[in-house]
Amino acid sequence: MTNAPIAVNSRQEPAQKGEATRESLVELAQRREGERYALHSKHLNEMWVRVLKTIGWDVGFIRGEGAYLYDRAGARYLDLMSGYGVFAIGRNHPKVRDALIEVLRSQSPNLAQFDVSVLAGVLAERLLARMPWLDKAFFANSGAEAVEAAIKFARYATGRSGIVHCAHSFHGLTYGALSLNGDEIFRKGFGPLLPDTREILFDDLSALEASLRGRDIAAFVVEPIQGKGVNIPKDDYLSGAAELCKKYGTLFVADEIQTGVGRTGKFLAVEHFGVEPDIVVLAKALSGGHAPIGVALTRKWIFDKVFDRMDRSVVHGSTFSKNDMAMAAALATLDVIENEGLIENAAAKGDRLLASLNKMAERYELVSAVRGKGMMIGVEFGPPKSLMLKATWNLLEAASSGLFGQLICIPLFKDHKILTQVAGHGNPTIKLLPSLTLTDEDCAWIERSFDQVIAEAHRAPSAVLSLGKTLAEHAIKARVGG
């Protein structure tokens, strides 16, 4: 194992005659390594550095490969967050790296703007082949940006202004997407947000019908499986929602930014539910984690309404969208997913983990539920029955709601080198969102570690309580971007 902080091929082109030899990025990163937290505290987000230090996550990762991260001491970690879901094919996949190097070497006419890109055309064709009921692709640079496009397209195409979203939803943090956020902590203080947005309960068709009846809603925007909490709807919810949308002239928008590109054991999570949304939004894993990307895939009539005349041909867009790096990375990522059978692997390893974690739920009273599909799994903790444990649980809840999950994540990281995250503010659920490349050995690593950490929480609740108090004193709220 090398200790190079930048894992891409760091070979430099030989210096040309007369050209000063430049310090390589690897050398730069090594030289300044000791300052990484100080630099961030000074020039970026100091509070985030404080969070990392308080929970002991300040180990300084210097390398990533596949499903693993390596810290500066050389220790290997199993990353069950995969960069909030972007590294579905694993970190630094050589095929994606090679595609990016090929683009850089090709002197492509990238972003000529008054032209169209072949790579973008081919990527759109490949994505739409997976969704034969859709016809058009709009590329963006992030998930939130793709959601913004969906909101604008839905409003323009329907001539309506209303957008309905669900409680506990997460669609990004730009203003339109934030206006559809179902968690007050993200919204508070940033208002006024987009007008005419309405929140309803997830998995509640009556609530949806009540909100659509006025025929003023342009779109119902929903995650097929909610990232915050890993909430899976009843089998007939999404098909029922699609029917209601059709009945009331509302567009059904599936936000597959987290669930898409194979994460749940199908290319799209809506495939589990037999639904064909009017707009599907993807991002995160689509470019293998190496280049920002987002895309809104739509029915032809929606797209054609927005871009209906030559003078409106640039009515929505973004300078960097469709850039060659993102397009090439996404094409290579789709190849990897297909050639390595990663969707099938996500389904198989997901089934294994769900079965073993569910067995743990039977044995441990602090585990109240295990749910998921493929490589998106939630382990929820809840109030135990026995008096001693219950007292601990209540004290922790009083200190900070949902804190218990964080108290499991910490020993998973510290003692077992497993990265997990809590699945939302005030939510005692731990989320597993690993690369789709997990092996049986990785699954065994997860099973062993969860078993030991949860057993310890039952055996020594006072230790959990004391760690909880320390965290509560530091007012740690887990960061839950993914």
Ligand X SMILES: Cc1ncc(COP(=O)(O)O)c(C=O)c1O
Sites of contact with ligand X (CB under 6 A): 84, 142-144, 147, 170-172, 223, 227, 255, 257-258, 283, 481-482
HSE-up (13 A, CA, CB side) for residue 255:
29
Give all strands of the β-sheet with 418-419 in edge-to-edge order: 61-65, 68-71, 76-79, 418-419
363 phi/psi in degrees, rounded to 5: -90, -30
Q: Which tokens in the block code for residue 12?
A: 């430099």
Neighbours of 272 (CB within 10 A): 18
220 phi/psi in degrees, rounded to 5: -105, 115
Closer CB to ligand X, 84 or 413, in the complex: 84
Q: How many helices (H) and strands (E) does the chain have?
A: 18, 15
- Bridge partners of residue 281, in order along the sequence: 255, 296
Closer CB to ligand X, 81 or 367, in the complex: 81
CB 248 within 8 A of CB 215: yes
CB 341 within 8 A of CB 191: no
Closer CB to ligand X, 270 or 471, in the complex: 270
Closer CB to ligand X, 162 or 224, in the complex: 224
Q: Show which residues are catalytic.
A: 170, 255, 284
Q: What angle do CA 93, 112, 116 make, to 5 degrees?
A: 80
- Tell me the closest approach of the beta carbon of residue 85 to ligand X, in angstroms: 7
- Tell me the closest approach of the beta carbon of residue 36 to ligand X, in angstroms: 23
185-193 CB contacts, 8 Å cutoff, 24+ apart: 185/425, 185/477
> Nearest to ligand X by Cβ — which residue?
143
The 8-class DSSP code of residue 478 comes to: -
- Tell me the closest approach of the beta carbon of residue 272 to ligand X, in angstroms: 16
Closer CB to ligand X, 237 or 364, in the complex: 237
- Tell me the closest approach of the beta carbon of residue 350 to ligand X, in angstroms: 18
Q: Report helix angle 342-363 to 440-459, nearest 10.
A: 20
- Tell me the closest approach of the beta carbon of residue 43 to ligand X, in angstroms: 22
Closer CB to ligand X, 258 or 406, in the complex: 258
- Tell me the closest approach of the beta carbon of residue 228 to ligand X, in angstroms: 8
